[in-house]
Each structure stands twice: as C-alpha cells, then as structure tokens.
Structure 1
Amino acid sequence: MDKAKSSGTEREGESSEQNPITLRRMACVLLVASTPFLNGMMVGWTAVLPKLQEDDRFPVTDEDVTWLVSLMLIVGIPVSPLAGTLAEHLGPRRLMFLGMCPVAGFWLLQAFTPNLSLLYVGRTAASVSAAMVCTMVQPLVAELCPSRVRGLASTMPEVMSCVGVLLGYVLAYRLPWDVATAVSAAPFLPLALAILLVPESPYWLVRKKRIEAAERSLRLLLGRDGRVAEELEAIRSTTTQRQSQVRDQVRELRKTHNAIPVVLALGIVILRELGGKGPVFSYTVYIFNDAGVQLDAFYCTVFVGIARFASTCVTACTLDLVGRKPLLAATAAICAVSEGVAGAFLFLEVEGAAWVPLASVIVFVVGYGVGLGPIPWVYLGELLPTPVRSLGAALITFAYSVTLFAINLVFLKAVSALGLGLTLLLFAGANLAIVPLVLLCIPETKGRTLQDLERAFTPARKTGVQAEDNPAFELESDWFDLAEREKYGACSLHTTAMKEKCKN
C-alpha cells in the first residue's frame, strides 16, 4: 500500500518530465532569461566614464566616477527585498515588465542630460530596474521551464549579462560617451513589450487562489498535448493559500525544511563574493600592473569579458549533462587554487614570474564562468522551496549586493595594509570553503522537478505520502486549499472530521 502511494507521489512530481518542451514555452523562458542583458549593459557602460570626464559639457570628478560605478550595488541593497515583496503582490512577470518598461527612457535621459544631477537620476532609476530583474529572473525561469533543460535555461541570464558587458565595452570604445549611452537604449523597449507575451507564473497564481488563471497559463506554456491537470496538481502539492502574502512566507521561512536551503544558497553566494570575484573583475588592470604585467586597459577588460562569456556558454551547453554539484565544487576549487598560486608568488616576491598572476587571472575567469558564477544563481530558482522562493531570492540578492559592495570598498585598503599577495590568499580561502559546503550539504538538482527538490529538505513525516496516513498533519493544512483540492478531485480526505470542515 505504501509503495503504491509512494509511486503515485513520484509520478505526480515527475509530471513536468512527461510534458513536451514546446517552442512557445522555450521562447517565453528565453525572453525572461534575456532581461539580465540590462545588468550587463549597466556594468559595461562604466567604460565610458573616462570619455565623460574629458567632455566639457559638465565637470565629472574622480569621486563622481566612483559613485557612478558603485550606484548599481548601492541601489540593489534596498531594492532587492522590496522587489520580493512587490512580486508577491503584483506577480513576478508583471513586476519584471513594469521594471523593464521605462529603461529605454532612463538611458536616453543619461545620454542627453544637460547636467550631472540628471545623469545621477537616470543611472539610479536604471539601477532600480536592474535590481528588480536580478532578484526575480531566476525564480521565474525555474517556474516556467521544464526540468529537463532547466540547467541550460537557468544559465542563460548569466550568458546574456556577459553579452551586455561586452557590448557596453565595445560601444564605449568605439563611440562618444553620449552616443554610446543613447544606442544602449535601443534593445530595451522591444524586450519590455515582448515580456507581455510571457504568461504569469502558475505558482504565483495558485498562491493567489487563481486556479483557472494558473490553468490558462499552463495551457499556453504546455500546448495542446501538455498534461495540464497533472502539472497543476504537482504545483498545488507544494503551493497553498498560506503562502499568498509576504508575512505568510516569512512564517514559512521559520520552518527548518524551508530555512535550510535558503541558508545554504545564501552561504554559497556570500563565500563567492568574499572570494574576491568583484575585485578580480573590477581591478584586473590594477592587479596586472601590480604584478608587473603591462596591458592596455580596454583590451584587458575585453579579454576578460570574452573569456567569461565563452566559459559561461560552455556551462549552458553542459550543465544538464554534468550536473550542478560536481561542476560548482570543481570550479570553486579551481578558482581557489588560481588565487592561491597568484597570491603565493606575489607574497614571496618571486622574480621573473610576472606571467603567473596573468595566467592565474585567466584560469580564475574561466573557472568562474564555467561554474562558480552561474550555478549559485541557478540555485535561486532550483534550490529554494516554493513557499519561500520569492522571499529567499530577495534576501540572497540583498546579501549579494551588500557583500560585493563591501568587498569592492575595502579591496584597495586591504591591499595597502596586507599586500596584494596576502589579500589574494584570503580570497582563495573563501572560495575553498565552498567546496565542502557543496559536497556535504547540497543535493544534486539536475533533472529533478521543483516538487522533488522541495521534498529533499522536508522531513518524511511532512511529505505528501506520509500526510495521507497522518490525520494530525492534515488538520494543520489550509482549509481553503483542501476544499479546492476536493472540488478538483485532487485530494482524498481520510477522516470524517476533515470532510465536514471542507463542506463547511
């Protein structure tokens, strides 16, 4: 009897595996995954700042340059948790559209600004949109995408971000700063309008008790041959009315089986930022010059950007074959070793070894692009449980912004106090700490449905299988949710008391 129930639950969790991968579904996922192109363009745009300082339209000091570079991270600190709250009220797809819609205007405001104040306004407003995109993209991709290709789909935001960075660098190098800024506006209005073609997340619709709307969303994604009823029931198995408000998700986050995956994903992201990713990418020229390697600043940044883009594309093509866990652990170790080797050579002041830091940075960039960069973001969609996915993503993005800003802020001071070699050794230690955390605590997410991954952190007595035999557990369930399940023929109530409650 128990085996039969277990098999039934497994079939329910695997319903998405049986659904076809429709062209419309993949187009919707690709549109959502393309939105971090904005984040990449925002980062790449900073390459125009030297030309902006040379322009006599208005004065731009070195302090202004520092603030304009850091503005994205500063804005991301308050906006990320706000985005998680707004997503629960408006819907993640609608929030993404509202965030992207005015972006083209923000770019044009920066391009044709008559003074520095309006440049700050445009940069700040665009940073708000970028923070919203960064917070919501991975959860929404995971909820729209079939598990068979979720690795590829979840890596696409990182790929599009790399494309945006490279395009920003090229525009900054080839065009005057104002023309480069104006041209940067071109892709964003069509992209914002295209997001209107994407249906709302069925998980969010179920949380809001809009079952019919969730069914319509699934029909658009799965097509005529899709098993909509099975997919809807799989979503309903981990989604209830008790998750419909932010305060409900805060209450859910207090539960151990929901808190553990959030804490694990948070730990990986914080350790990655403590591992010096920001300084390596932001101060590449400084690191090379300190090591005695003389390279043109533009060619250095473009070279690093191309290496990161190429390695991330490799990940997109292989993540669903290799798996997340071994790739993340291996690349974290590679990044740690590359920083450790460079740090040791600089600390020991080995003569005639200027090529070692250069080679180490290249290895770090490739290792980061293959696994350490994209996979922690993939976990925001896959590892976080359905009841707290939006809230957890907001908290992790908030912690990412705070940590990255702090590391970038203190990097040069740390180098001045400790030396570049010892600083890189400390970065290597943080990356190395990721390896045991991943190997010992993180389950493999490749090919597993979101419902199956949630059960990985849920005690056996709280799974759907055990709940059928446990009336006490059923009494704790949401009454409206049980009534809706009975209406759709999707639940079986085993106690007279619970039947009477549903009827009432």
Structure 2
Amino acid sequence: MKISTTLLRQLYIVIVVNLSSVGLGLTMAWNSPMLYKLMYEDTQLSHRITSSDASWIVSIGYLAAIFFCPLTSWVLDPMGRKLCLLAFGTIRATLGLILVFGTEVWMLLVARAINGIFEIGILMILPSYCVEISSKEIRGALGTISQMASSVGMLIMFGFGPFLSYLNVNIIYVVALYATVIPLLFVPDSPYSLLRKGLKDEAFEVLKLLRGSEIAAQQELKEMTVVHGCQVKVKDLLKDRIFLKALSISVLLSIGFQLIGYSAVTVYLQSIMDITKTSVSSNTISVIFGVMQIIASLVSALLSDKAGRKIILCVTLFGTAIGMAGLGLFFYANDSSDSIVGFMNYLPIVSVIIIVLCYNAGMGSLCILVCTELFDSPARTTSVSISVSSSLIFAFLNLKYFPLLSELMGAAAVFWSFSAINLLYVLFIMFCVPETKRKSFLEIQRALGRREDKKEAVCA
C-alpha cells in the first residue's frame, strides 16, 4: 500500500506539472488548422496571409528562442522549477490574447516570437522537474508523460480547430493555457531545485513525501548532496571530459530530434493530406494523428522502464525511416504520373500513421528524457540550455525552409533524406548512447566513466 501511495503522489505531481505540456501541444498543433484559415478564410486580420507569412509564423518562435535560450536558462536555478513554470505559463497565456485581438500579421509574429522564448523555457524545465521527483524504477514511465500530455493538447486542437472560427479557436486556446497554470500552485518544487537553493530541510520533506519513507529520503538526500549539491562554473564544466562526452551525445540527439523530419510532417500535415485523393478528409486525418500520438506515448510509458531506452529508440527510428520512405515514394509517384490510383492514394495515410506511432513511442517521448538523465544536477541546466539551443537552430531551419527545399529538390527527395537520417541515428544510438534504464544519476555518471575523485575535483 505504501508503494502504491508514493507512486500515486509522484504520478499526481508529474501529471499536474505536465499540464504545461498540454499547453505546448495546443500551441504546436495551432499551426495546422490556423494557417489554413489565415491563408484561405476571412479572419479579424486586415488581410489574408501569404505563404511567406505562414512560414514566418511557424518558425519565428524558434528563431527568437535561439537568441534568448541562454538568458532563460540563467533564471531556472535561482528561481526554481516551480516558480519558473508558473511565470512562463502565465506569460504565454497572456500573450495568447494578442491572437484574439490582433488585427495585423506583425502582431501575430510578435506574439509567436515572445511565446517561443517562454515555450522553450518550459521545455527546458519539464524534463528536469519530472526526472528529479521520480524514483529511478519508474523515472522512464513518468518522464514520458510529457509527450503524452503534449499529444493530448494536439488532439484537442486537431479536434476542434478545423471546425470553429479563427476567433473562437483562439479564445478557447487562451482559456486552456490559463487553466494549465493554476494547478501548479498546489505542487511542491523539485527537491533538487530546493537543495540547489540551500533549502535542505525543505528538500528532505519533499523527498519524504515522494518516497514514503524517512530512511529512503535520507539515503537519496545523501546521494543528492554528493552528486547534485555542489556549485559548478561553466568554464569548469567545459574542462570536464565526462561532461563533454555527455554533452556531445545530448546535442547530437537534440539535433536529430529535428532532423528526422517529424516537425515538418506535423506542421504541413493538412497540406500533405490535401494532395491525396482519398475519401478521408484532412481534418479526420488530423484527429487520427492526435489519437495515434497518445497511443504511442502510452506504449512508450509502459515499456521504457522494461525494454530500455536504447532498444525502443532504435526500433522506432527504423519505423520512422520506413514511414518517411513511404511519403517519398508517394510524392515521387505523384510527380511522375498524372493519375494516382489504388493503394498509392492511401500510402501517405499509412506512412503518416507509422511515423506518428514510431516518433511518439521513441524520439518524441524519450529523447529529452535521455538528454536530461545524462547529467547530474549541477550541470543539468547548462547542458539542457546548450542542447535545446542546438535543437532550436535546426528546428527554425527545418520549418522555415522545408517548403523551399521541397520546391528545389522535390518532396520525394526531402522525405527520402529524412529516412536516411533516421537510419543514421539508429547506428548512433546503438553504438554511442548509454542505457539509462533504472539507473540513479550517480550510476549513469559512473557508466559514462565518472570516478568519485574526479567528481569531487569538478565540484571543488
């Protein structure tokens, strides 16, 4: 009973914290139905947007976040995880009012740019918050809830976005964002965050609540004090071989998060489906897309602490490669023939379903989790900031220039390139990424080659 009670406490906190992920999912899926309305329907904007405007609306948040991500990371440790989530979430919800009342494209661009900065700030906090309050035996399952919550947000937007007016969608969007912030008032801060601020007694009380035992809390607090309780300067981290090794893995995984092509498929989903000549509407496909995301995220949550991170990532990346190859084949046939009949019309739907299932069961759920697990607490904020910044650069380039690349190279060549990148990442994960399943942060550091005396030298 004690074990189930502590598990429920951890699960409750992770779910409340990841309501922010529901908001992120709403924002991510906003692009698909709203860009279509802004381009082809009358809205409160003074004129319909162009394809160039659309590409900037999609990508400008990533561009802004590239420059402000380091600044955002500086406030995470001093303020603490919880306070940052509250502040960033409130700012994002308030910015949403510009979408409701804005009448010019530049207003949308300003709102999306500033929103992108705080959205990335939330993305930097969530994985750290979740892994820091979770027991190592269930850290993988709880760490994947973020992707599941994001998928719920996307499904909600895909469900009502295409069928309501632009104004009504944005009103619901703003209300939903405020609703995700309020419950955060009733959860504790991360014990690691409390310890970093010198609040050892408060950290102990949170651990006792989460672990259900004073002995377990004392043991974990002792380990945290050794591994996570020291202050480390960035210049010292950059001289630390183990940190640089973990950082290289994390940065390459974060870049792969964007290069495997899923974000392009997500943003331009309706456009891809409109090219097909099936009886299934693009709106219905979007809803199916959202349901598949939730199912895949649930599968990842159930298996990540049993099968292990590496095997799941390798299998799902291989599946994503197959899906991308299928999309490439369809576009090649579409460009080569005046008439697409039979199964070829359904190939994009089948391919997208494979991509959605594999991505959300693999990279979507586990990439950020693994990147967070590779570092101990003193290095986590710095490493996540560098990894996220690297990812943002490629996210901006991917989303801004995907339409241009499709024009220059052809859509078939672009999707085949995504397929090849997925296969390369299978090899990278097989040979370069350590398994983190059911390991404490201290054990992960040892697996990377950390020795206790070296750790003490870095902390000195």
* Superposition TM-score, scaled by structure 1 size: 0.81
Deviation at 1:145, TM superposition (A): 1.0
Change (3 A) 1:49 1:148: same
Identity of aligned residues (%): 21
Letter in 2 for 1:419: G
Distance 1:341 1:117 in 2: 38
Given that 1:339 and 1:425 are in contact with CA atoms closer than 8 Å, whether structure 2 keeps it comes out as: yes
Q: Is residue 2:145 matched to residue 1:156?
A: yes
Letter in 2 for 1:443: P
2:320 paired residue among 335, 343, 347: 335
Given that 2:58 and 2:399 are in contact with CA atoms closer than 8 Å, whether structure 1 keeps it comes out as: no
1:260 paired residue among 222, 240, 245: 245
Deviation at 1:119, TM superposition (A): 4.0
Q: Is residue 2:164 matched to residue 1:175?
A: yes
CA offsets per residue over residues 226-253 of structure 1, 9 Å max, x none?
A: 622111101112124332xxxx144224
Equivalent residue of 1:320, what SS? coil
Distance 1:305 1:436 in 2: 29
Letter in 2 for 1:391: T
Query: 5 Å matches for 1:47-66?
Result: 47-52=33-38, 53-55=41-43, 58-62=46-50, 63-66=52-55
Equivalent residue of 1:148, what SS? coil
Q: Is residue 2:400 matched to residue 1:409?
A: yes
What residue in structure 2 maps to residue 106 of structure 1?
95
Change (3 A) 1:342 1:100: closer
Distance 1:272 1:380 in 2: 11
Deviation at 1:366, TM superposition (A): 1.5
Distance 1:141 1:100 in 2: 17
Deviation at 1:161, TM superposition (A): 0.9
Given that 1:279 and 1:407 are in contact with CA atoms closer than 8 Å, whether structure 2 keeps it comes out as: yes
2:373 paired residue among 375, 382, 402: 382
Change (3 A) 1:221 1:123: same
Q: CA RMSD in A?
A: 2.8
Query: 5 Å matches for 1:263-342?
Result: 263-288=248-273, 296-342=281-327
What residue in structure 1 maps to residue 190 of structure 2?
201
2:445 paired residue among 454, 468, 485: 454
2:203 paired residue among 202, 214, 222: 214
Deviation at 1:295, TM superposition (A): 5.3
* Superposition TM-score, scaled by structure 2 size: 0.88
Change (3 A) 1:56 1:448: closer
Query: 5 Å matches for 1:16-35?
Result: 21-35=6-20
Given that 1:83 and 1:135 are in contact with CA atoms closer than 8 Å, whether structure 2 keeps it comes out as: no
Equivalent residue of 1:36, what SS? helix
Distance 2:332 2:257 in 1: 22
Q: How many residues align structurally?
A: 449
Letter in 1 for 2:34: V
Equivalent residue of 1:446, what SS? coil
What residue in structure 2 maps to residue 488 of structure 1?
none
Deviation at 1:122, TM superposition (A): 3.7
CA offsets per residue over residues 64-88 of structure 1, 9 Å max, x none?
A: 3332222332233223322222112
Given that 2:30 and 2:157 are in contact with CA atoms closer than 8 Å, whether structure 1 keeps it comes out as: yes
Letter in 1 for 2:347: V
Letter in 2 for 1:425: W
What residue in structure 2 maps to residue 94 of structure 1?
83
Bigger shift: 410-419 or 283-292?
283-292
Change (3 A) 1:21 1:296: same
Change (3 A) 1:65 1:150: same
Bigger shift: 233-242 or 136-145?
233-242
Distance 2:153 2:179 in 1: 16
Q: Is residue 2:347 matched to residue 1:356?
A: yes
Given that 1:20 and 1:226 are in contact with CA atoms closer than 8 Å, whether structure 2 keeps it comes out as: no
2:225 paired residue among 230, 233, 236: 236
Distance 1:345 1:177 in 2: 32
What residue in structure 1 maps to residue 435 of structure 2?
444
Deviation at 1:214, TM superposition (A): 2.5
Structure 2 unmatched runs, 5+: none
CA offsets per residue over residues 376-417 of structure 1, 9 Å max, x none?
A: 021132223333111111111112221122122222222222
Equivalent residue of 2:436, what SS? coil
Deviation at 1:316, TM superposition (A): 1.8
Deviation at 1:99, TM superposition (A): 0.8
Change (3 A) 1:323 1:175: same
Distance 1:74 1:118 in 2: 16
Distance 1:267 1:281 in 2: 22
What residue in structure 2 maps to residue 393 of structure 1?
384
CA offsets per residue over residues 450-502 of structure 1, 9 Å max, x none?
A: 2211221134xx22xxx4xxxxx6984756xxxxxxxxxxxxxxxxxxxxxxx
CA offsets per residue over residues 429-467 of structure 1, 9 Å max, x none?
A: 1110111211112222121112211221134xx22xxx4
Distance 2:10 2:96 in 1: 30
Bigger shift: 42-51 or 148-157?
42-51
Change (3 A) 1:260 1:195: same
Deviation at 1:56, TM superposition (A): 5.0
Distance 1:477 1:273 in 2: 32
1:418 paired residue among 389, 409, 412: 409
2:24 paired residue among 14, 39, 42: 39
Distance 2:316 2:11 in 1: 28
Structure 1 unmatched runs, 5+: 1-17, 468-472, 480-504
Bigger shift: 116-125 or 199-208?
116-125
Given that 1:84 and 1:390 are in contact with CA atoms closer than 8 Å, whether structure 2 keeps it comes out as: yes
Distance 2:303 2:432 in 1: 23
Q: Which has the larger radius of gyration?
A: 1
Change (3 A) 1:198 1:78: farther
Change (3 A) 1:355 1:225: same
Distance 1:55 1:111 in 2: 10
Deviation at 1:32, TM superposition (A): 1.6
CA offsets per residue over residues 45-76 of structure 1, 9 Å max, x none?
A: 23234445512552242243332222332233
Given that 1:199 and 1:220 are in contact with CA atoms closer than 8 Å, whether structure 2 keeps it comes out as: no
Change (3 A) 1:413 1:22: closer
Equivalent residue of 2:175, what SS? coil
Letter in 1 for 2:226: S
Q: Is residue 2:131 matched to residue 1:131?
A: no
Letter in 1 for 2:66: I
What residue in structure 2 maps to residue 485 of structure 1?
none
